[in-house]
Amino acid sequence: MRTESTLTNSLPITEVVTRIVTLNKGLHDFWRSNHQGWPPSNVADLLSRSRLDWQVSLSYSLQRWIDPPLPKDQAAAQILGYANIGSLVEGTLKLFLSVYYNDYKRDADAIIMKDPDGLTMEPLRQFFKRRIWSETSSDNWDPWIQRIQSRRNAIHSFKDRDIGNYTDMITDIRHYLIFVLRINSQLPYPDSGPRESYDDPVSGSYACEIAAPVI
């Protein structure tokens, strides 16, 4: 894996976690509040049932993994840390599709008979791979999501599998900050004007800071 040199990668990991908390708290506060009727009523209803407060709590929980674990705790820290990161990634993907719920319902590639809040990681990953990520390498988040998914699933495993190491997990916490910035950059807000569709491209001037990692 190659880590690109970005502002996010130069921040202390404590600051990275603080920014993740701030971002997910802001997403919770805006999208759960209905923001003076900004989302359509059916989208607001779906978001009102979502547990974006859990996303905030899971963001705070990242603080548990920023110090190197004792040798006896290393495997547990990796397994539980990636469960934490994986849950955040899944929740962020669900938020995106919930905000674009009407668009999603009309999409021929939508997962039949499933609202975004009822999807699991694999169908979410497949849908974003087909419909959301652009064809440029800088927006190819699928390999990173697959790695997070695999390491998160170690919590269910008895067989040996790759769970990475402490440095990998810290790097992936940094990547999650970039990932949530990427998702947020494509959400419609009153001050930026409504987006007609999730097919609208991300602003090129912002793309360098939200580039996907090379796996």
Amino acid letter for position 6: T
Amino acid letter for position 149: Q
Taking 50 as the threshold, does the pLDDT of residue 103 lie above it?
A: yes
Per residue, what are the HEC states of 78-141?
Answer: HHHHHHHHHHHHHHHHHHHHHHCHHHHHHCCCCCCCCCHHHCCHHHHHHHHHHHCCCCCHHHCC
Assess contact for 142 and 129: CB atoms under 8 A.
yes
3-state secondary structure of 162: coil
Q: What is the pLDDT of residue 204?
A: 45
- Residues 135-193 pLDDT 10s: 888 899 999 999 999 999 998 877 778 899 999 999 999 999 999 999 998 998 887 54
Q: What is the pLDDT of residue 3?
A: 43
pLDDT, greater one: 162 or 214: 162
Share of the chain above pLDDT 90, in %: 54
Query: What are the structural domain ranges in the chain?
Result: 12-197
- Residues 2-47 pLDDT 10s: 444 456 778 899 999 999 999 999 999 888 876 667 788 888 888 8
